[in-house]
Structure 1
Amino acid sequence: MSLGEREKAAGATKPTAQEAWAAAAYSILISVAETYHAVITYKELGEEIQRRTGIRTKALLQNWITPVLGRVVREAHRRGDPPLTALVVHTGDGKVGTGYAEVLTVAGKPPVEGEMEREHHAAEARLACYRRFCRDLPPDGGRPALAPRLQATVERRRRRVEKPPQVCGRCFVQLPSTGVCDSCGQSHSRRE
């Protein structure tokens, strides 16, 4: 019995917009999970939910998507499916939203400490989704991965940290990008 059918059988005569949206979201997220390392943005999901259901809203996405995804979290838990909402990320940074905490709450697990710990938990949850629904996993069963946009940000930061700043050998101050020391005026060759 689908999410909408179960709620309908519980006494509702016609599914509410949120019930219809949650049922559509569930189906959409299973489709996303069929592609290894695929994710969907909140915006893409919101647009596709409204397109599939024909139920539109002018409300801001953040005002209606969280309760819809909360229904998806509870339904996935009830069905024994992995937390499909781990597949939904923000467009700008590739991170799951703070509403992801509901995945842990429903599973009876303690909240995670810190944003990156939450992202790594979501990466593990996404891998569980791919393992359940994707037919083309790598031979080793796949690996958890941050969303592509977030992974790119992490790698850029790592490269910046790994490359120490150039320092003037005479004054022991960090050199500007020109390679000429602001203190003594000595020119230093730039390291690549």
Structure 2
Amino acid sequence: MAPAPGTYRVSDESGVAFSEALNLWVPLAYDWLIKTAQRYNGWTTYLELTEHVQQTSGVRTRMLIGNWSGKLLERVAQLATDRGEVPLTSLCVHQNGTIGIGYLRAPKSVDVDPAADVDELAAAHRLLCYKKYASDLPADGGKPELTPKLAEARSRRTTASRPPPKLCPVHYIELSITGVCSLCD
């Protein structure tokens, strides 16, 4: 019995060249990301996006997501850039809410500071997407936001790394940087 092809049509399990599969998946991913941008603070995961394109196209791959999702998103980013579109791939994040370092290398129609925090950059780019497509923007136009999981993780990390404040043993207020209580002098 011949080994099953790595990328195949679900209908008959016939092999499909990966490049052909990408050609099918890119417009589906592009449309999915535009749909995602229609909801303020909307985002999708690599898993959701890759499952959507495979399910919708009827073409699947046995490759691990990490081995092909970057290629898919790079092609989507190029398509968006070619069309003068906002950086749609900023809407696709890992399960932990991070964008991934590959985002800095992806083609974009906007300027990018290579020293920028990649997740904060993606948050700013997501806001561009919402401003173009979302109908539920807040009255103030919104602000760049990290995904909830990432914001929570960063908050925990910041809180955990900060030592507790030194308190005056008499007045129980935080001491100034000099270590002297303002009520004790």
Question: Are the structure 2 counterparts of residues 106 and 133 from structure 1 closer, same or farther at C-alpha, using a change threshold of 3 Å?
Answer: closer
Write out aligned runs for 1:112-131 (5 A). 112-113=114-115, 117-131=117-131
Shift of 1:112: 2.2
Code of the aligned partner of 1:59 = M
Code of the aligned partner of 1:102 = R
Under a length normalisation based on structure 2, what TM-score does the superposition of the two structures give? 0.73
Misfit runs of 4+, over 6 Å: none
Question: Are the structure 2 counterparts of residues 16 and 38 from structure 1 closer, same or farther at C-alpha, using a change threshold of 3 Å?
Answer: same
- Could you tell me how far apart the structure 1 residues matched to 2:112 and 2:83 are? 21
Match of 1:96 in 2: 99
- Could you tell me how far apart the structure 2 residues matched to 1:62 and 1:32 are? 21
Code of the aligned partner of 1:61 = I
Check the 8 A contact 2:131/2:137 in 1, yes or no: yes
Check the 8 A contact 1:95/1:147 in 2, yes or no: yes
- Could you tell me how far apart the structure 2 residues matched to 1:145 and 1:111 are? 18
Match of 2:179 in 1: none
Shift of 1:102: 2.7
- Could you tell me how far apart the structure 1 residues matched to 2:163 and 2:48 are? 37
- Could you tell me how far apart the structure 2 residues matched to 1:42 and 1:166 are? 44
Code of the aligned partner of 1:55 = V
Match of 1:60 in 2: 64
Match of 1:132 in 2: 132
Check the 8 A contact 1:73/1:102 in 2, yes or no: no
- Could you tell me how far apart the structure 2 residues matched to 1:152 and 1:102 are? 26
Shift of 1:39: 1.1
Check the 8 A contact 2:124/2:144 in 1, yes or no: yes
Match of 1:153 in 2: 153
Check the 8 A contact 2:98/2:150 in 1, yes or no: yes
1:99-137 deviation digits (Å, cap 9, x = unpaired): 21233x5448465236xx111110000000011110110
Match of 1:77 in 2: 81
**Structure 2 unaligned runs (5+)?**
1-18, 170-185
CA RMSD of aligned residues (A): 2.3
- Could you tell me how far apart the structure 1 residues matched to 2:121 and 2:137 are? 20
Question: Are the structure 2 counterparts of residues 106 and 36 from structure 1 closer, same or farther at C-alpha, using a change threshold of 3 Å?
Answer: closer
- Could you tell me how far apart the structure 1 residues matched to 2:108 and 2:89 are? 12
Q: How many equivalent pairs are there?
A: 150
